[in-house]
Amino acid sequence: MTEQYNWNQAAHQEGGEYAEKLPDGKHPVEITRVVFGKKDGTLFKSKGGDPQIMLIFADELGREALQMVTLSFKAGFILAKILEAAGADLDHMTADGVTPRSFAEPEFANANLVGRQLEIEVVWSSKNGKDFADITPLGTITETTEPAAAAQGDDDIPI
């Protein structure tokens, strides 16, 4: 007897559980998903009560690393570094009144983050028996770091 695959369950899971981890080192990646909360529907929040999002970075082989980002003025520098490395127009964002909390809105976050490409450095660590990635945004993908992938077009992402 063969095992039955549950397509309905697979269609509603977040993924990542079965994706191979992006190994330590420098990698050209794309932000493939933004996750706003736990499977039970609870939104991510920092210890201080600020909204958080989880960014999923993947390379061309589908290997993933994730980073939690707190959407506050105090911690906004993390998201700013990611956006700058991914080629966002930070002056335009400032002029338009975009704040870190703007990214707590799923439609806005998905439109402005998913599909962005950048180079990151990944260092894996363990804490309390769980692995986590320390991700450092390095900059935009250059011709030497971007294998066969086309450069991202400005028309695809609003900011």
Helix (H) or strand (E) holding 126: strand 117-127
Q: Which tens digits make up the pLDDT trace of 139-153?
A: 887 654 444 333 444
Domain-located, residue 6: no
Residue 97 is assigned to a structural domain of this protein: yes
Cβ pair 44, 37 in contact under 8 A:
yes
Q: Residues 106-128: what's their mean pLDDT?
A: 93
In a domain, residue 41? The reply is yes
Residue 144, domain member (yes or no): no
Domain assignment of residue 157, yes or no: no
pLDDT value at residue 116: 95
1-55 pLDDT, tens digit each: 566 666 665 555 554 456 788 899 999 999 999 999 998 889 999 999 999 999 9
Per-residue pLDDT, 121: 94
Report pLDDT for 104: 96
Is the residue at 152 inside a domain? no
Phi, psi of 106 (to 5 degrees): -55, -45
C-alpha distance across the termini of the chain, in Å: 52
Expressed as residue numbers, the domain containing 106 is 15-139
Number of domains the chain contains: 1
51-98 tens-digit pLDDT: 999 999 999 999 999 999 999 999 999 999 999 999 999 999 999 999
Say if 3 falls within a structural domain.
no
Helical H segments across the chain, by residue range: 7-11, 76-85, 90-95, 106-113
* pLDDT (0 to 100) of residue 58: 95
Q: Would residue 10 count as lying in a domain?
A: no
Inter-residue long-range contacts of 106-109, CB under 8 Å, 24+ positions, other chains counted: 106/34, 106/36, 109/34, 109/36, 109/53
